[in-house]
Structure 1
Amino acid sequence: MVVIGVLVALVGGVLPAGAERGWVAGWAASPVVGSEIPWSSCPAGGGLRDATVRNVVFVSTGGRAVRVRLTNAFGTRPLRVGGASVAVRGSGATAEEGTVRVLTFRGSRSVTVPPGRELFSDPVALGVRSLSTLLVSVHVPGPTGPITNHPFTAQGNYLADGDLSGAVSGDFRDTPCWMFVSGVDVVPSRRVAGAVVAFGDSITDTANTTGDANRRWPDFLARRLDAVRGRTLSVVNAGLGGNRLLADREGEPYYGVAALKRVERDVLAQSGVAAVITLLGVNDIGYGATAAELVAGHRELIAAARAAGVAVHGGTILPFRGSVAWTAEREAVRREFNDWVRTSGEFDGVVDFAAATAAPGDPAALDPAYDSGDHLHPNDAGTAAMAQAVDLGALLARGSVAAG
């Protein structure tokens, strides 16, 4: 990821001491190329003209200052941004009074993001509570062409005509996707030693959880880590619905490029990243991947993370018997791969998601209490169980981070 140099802006007040250092990712969304999505009203395929997107984002950790990462990662033309802001959410598309902070980019309220690039705003002083919700607004004069976006969010977002980027409220309508924004960093308290990235597919991205409720498994993990006494970590969700580890899904760009292609941008480039939890492979199994191929792909991920000094915790693939994707042959691949995750010793830690969500007496199927109904994606109770399966002691043991 290329980051344009960051300057300190005084919009919204004087920045606290240390705001020029110590950034940690508090929220992120893995971007995909703009395209038409057959069952979605997201306008990322056709693009926008003279419109404001108001993204609703749940931050895992709080802080005294924030900066926002704009994305044109998959754009084929320069992205002109006329104005942008960040605010604490009041309700709906309305900001909490007194919290709107106009963003600048090298001191300017407008900026052009080159094709294939991402860039951070200048920092702004804003008190943000952990496990709270922000509104990140971006006005584009347009026409934008296809928009780099995150299509599946389990979160309602907003869209308005004209420039409402700095407004407390306005005439916003619903839109399902996150657009133009791929991250929010904070300057956290000293107890937050870095970030853990949840790297996966739809089961990490949204599963079949309740919308607008922040019940993805990384959200439940964020709540657990926020409750830790002493040193802890923020949580970043780098899940992508439909994503595969080994290959792109031809003709379906909204599922993103293969995880092996996006690991540098979506995991290793996150501010303050200390660890990653992987949960990938079920979609590859559906496309005929072997256990040996999944092992080889995960070894690539492990090598890339280790080279960057990032700890890797391997997740076992959840059971999915009864789903449209299940066959006895695919079940054998899942079990062989999961055995390798559990016993190989190649990870810094193991998260046994499969054991945590399996039906009593039937390790090939989801527990009915955790099954959203498709026998593949867990419900709210299932994602809570997944987060509970993470050994916080093992996760926090690396380096200077210690469970309190």
Structure 2
Amino acid sequence: MKRLPTLAASALLAFTLSGAAHADPASGWISSWTASPQAVWGQDFLFPSNVPATLDEQTVRQVARISLGGKRVRIVLSNAYGRTPLTIKSATVALAGEASAIDQDSLRAITFGGQASATIAAGAPLVSDPIALSVPDLARLTVSLHLPRHSEVSTFHWDGRATAWIAPGDQTRATHIDAEQAGVHTTTARLVLSAIEVESPVAAPAAAPVVAVIGDSITDGASASLDTDTRWPDVLAARLAPHGVAVINAGISGGRLLANGMGDNALARFERDVLAQPGVRTVVVLIGINDISWPGTAFEAHALRPTLAELIAGYTQLIARAHSRGVRVIGATLTPFEGALPGTPLSDYYQPGKDALRQQLNAWIRGSGSYDAVLDFDAWARDPAHPLRLQATYDSGDHLHPGDAGNRALAEKIDLSLLLPALALAKP
């Protein structure tokens, strides 16, 4: 792994010592990948959950691309919205091959307190024992979980942008899972798996820093290609990995700042999904478009749109809470969305009054001085000839979400020195 020049490394050490103190100083464990937990919704919701109500002696196999590698890994599971304890009968982790296949030589059993099985309390997370598996930067890891009969599926991450396999029996050690096998089905949701931590190769206390991104479907990657890791935080992770910086994605499709949407509001989940993640030194905030646009749609036909003052108060709280933990906060402007979601039940998502509020909010983000730095996604993504719309080459086609090209462009326009001050000192 490439390391920063001596001057930048010294600055990074100084920043780390004065920054957030929640990373374990003895071990250097950091969060290298996350999928923010959500409560599984009912069948009457606008979108299907794409997960079964229960798992019955089945294996769930999921693939996740981490950002930074490390000497050992830990797996974090979540029963955050479970009403009853959830048992894991057995679990494994391995370097991923193609599709559901694994590198058999890298297969490791996951244990919890020295035991192969464990029970996750209702509403709680579960952290595995350290696993002796050295992984490189940007490695794809496969995690397989075997759950017993009548395991209620209450906690998931709906828009995983990756295929997961649900197979009968204990297939945690299977070389691959055949999607054509009887009883096997796939989903693009994440089940139970919420984070992967790595033991940083950087000596404590100067553990590698983590940049967290909290947002909605634009961050979660709603229109990014499946199984390709092309969300904008994925591209940013690839840019930052050579500098020894990790990126975690705390986006939730349908997420909002002030009110619950397809997950808890950002103010409610900020501690769990950002501040409590080990190693976080910087957070990027790109959220608010659903607060502005859900009211008056099929999501919330009779709800009132928040005021500019209410939105500013919410952002101000996020900033204050992050600063109290020594975490820098980078604000990102909201991208254009004229004509969003045409031909869908949400075709009224865009309205001129909503866009006026977006532009007022963007003016505050740019000019208030409240953030430590600003990423002007609005300016980068809009069509110069029609600034209320996304550039055609960046548009996924729904006029709201960037496609792969748009995600890459947004990530590549970011000046890395804005995300971590030490990187600025590395410039010639």
Q: Fold conserved (TM > 0.5)? A: yes
**Match of 1:395?**
419
RMSD: 1.9
**For the structure 1 residues 136 and 402, does the alpha-carbon distance in structure 2 shift closer, same or farther, using more than 3 Å as the test?**
farther
C-alpha separation in 1, matches of 2:366 and 2:49 = 41
The offset of 1:147, in angstroms, is: 2.7
Which amino acid is the alignment partner of residue 368 of structure 1? A
Residues 139 and 165 in structure 1, CA contact (< 8 A), matched pair in contact too: yes
C-alpha separation in 2, matches of 1:207 and 1:34 = 18
**What SS does the corresponding residue of 2:33 show, helix, strand or coil?**
strand
**Match of 2:50?**
42
**Match of 1:25?**
31
Which amino acid is the alignment partner of residue 396 of structure 2? S
Residues 19 and 187 in structure 1, CA contact (< 8 A), matched pair in contact too: no
**What SS does the corresponding residue of 2:272 show, helix, strand or coil?**
helix
**Match of 1:4?**
none
**Match of 1:224?**
239
Which amino acid is the alignment partner of residue 197 of structure 1? A
C-alpha separation in 1, matches of 2:257 and 2:218 = 14
Q: Quick one: which of 184, 190, 212 aligns to 1:178?
A: 190
C-alpha separation in 2, matches of 1:101 and 1:196 = 28
Residues 192 and 233 in structure 1, CA contact (< 8 A), matched pair in contact too: no
Residues 392 and 403 in structure 1, CA contact (< 8 A), matched pair in contact too: no
Which amino acid is the alignment partner of residue 69 of structure 2? G
Q: Quick one: which of 386, 392, 397 aligns to 1:373?
A: 397
**Match of 1:197?**
212
Residues 331 and 373 in structure 2, CA contact (< 8 A), matched pair in contact too: yes
Summarize the alignment of residues 285-364 of structure 1 with structure 2, pairs less than 5 Å apart.
285-286=292-293, 287=295, 288-323=305-340, 324=347, 325-364=349-388
Residues 282 and 420 in structure 2, CA contact (< 8 A), matched pair in contact too: no
- Give unmatched runs, 5+ long, in structure 1: 1-17, 250-254
Summarize the alignment of residues 3-402 of structure 1 with structure 2, pairs less than 5 Å apart.
21-36=27-42, 39-40=47-48, 42-44=50-52, 46-171=53-178, 172-190=184-202, 193-228=208-243, 232-249=244-261, 255-286=262-293, 287=295, 288-323=305-340, 324=347, 325-397=349-421
The offset of 1:184, in angstroms, is: 0.1
**Match of 1:5?**
none
- Percent identity reads 41
C-alpha separation in 2, matches of 1:344 and 1:63 = 39
- CA deviation map 1:285-331 (0-9, x unaligned): 01212222211110111111111211100010001112132211111
Question: If the length of structure 2 is used for normalisation, what is the TM-score?
Answer: 0.84
The offset of 1:90, in angstroms, is: 1.1
**For the structure 1 residues 264 and 41, does the alpha-carbon distance in structure 2 shift closer, same or farther, using more than 3 Å as the test?**
closer
The count of residues paired between Structure 1 and Structure 2 equals: 377
**For the structure 1 residues 280 and 39, does the alpha-carbon distance in structure 2 shift closer, same or farther, using more than 3 Å as the test?**
closer
**For the structure 1 residues 73 and 41, does the alpha-carbon distance in structure 2 shift closer, same or farther, using more than 3 Å as the test?**
closer
The offset of 1:365, in angstroms, is: 1.1
**What SS does the corresponding residue of 2:417 show, helix, strand or coil?**
helix
C-alpha separation in 2, matches of 1:343 and 1:27 = 32
The offset of 1:350, in angstroms, is: 0.6
Which amino acid is the alignment partner of residue 260 of structure 2? D
Residues 166 and 185 in structure 2, CA contact (< 8 A), matched pair in contact too: yes
Which amino acid is the alignment partner of residue 37 of structure 2? P
Residues 397 and 403 in structure 1, CA contact (< 8 A), matched pair in contact too: no
The offset of 1:210, in angstroms, is: 1.1
Residues 338 and 389 in structure 2, CA contact (< 8 A), matched pair in contact too: yes
**Structure with greater strand share of residues:** 1
**What SS does the corresponding residue of 2:277 show, helix, strand or coil?**
coil
**For the structure 1 residues 65 and 402, does the alpha-carbon distance in structure 2 shift closer, same or farther, using more than 3 Å as the test?**
farther
**Match of 2:298?**
none
C-alpha separation in 1, matches of 2:326 and 2:156 = 29
- CA deviation map 1:112-132 (0-9, x unaligned): 110010021000111212112
Residues 217 and 252 in structure 2, CA contact (< 8 A), matched pair in contact too: yes
**For the structure 1 residues 176 and 278, does the alpha-carbon distance in structure 2 shift closer, same or farther, using more than 3 Å as the test?**
same
Question: If the length of structure 1 is used for normalisation, what is the TM-score?
Answer: 0.89
The offset of 1:36, in angstroms, is: 4.0
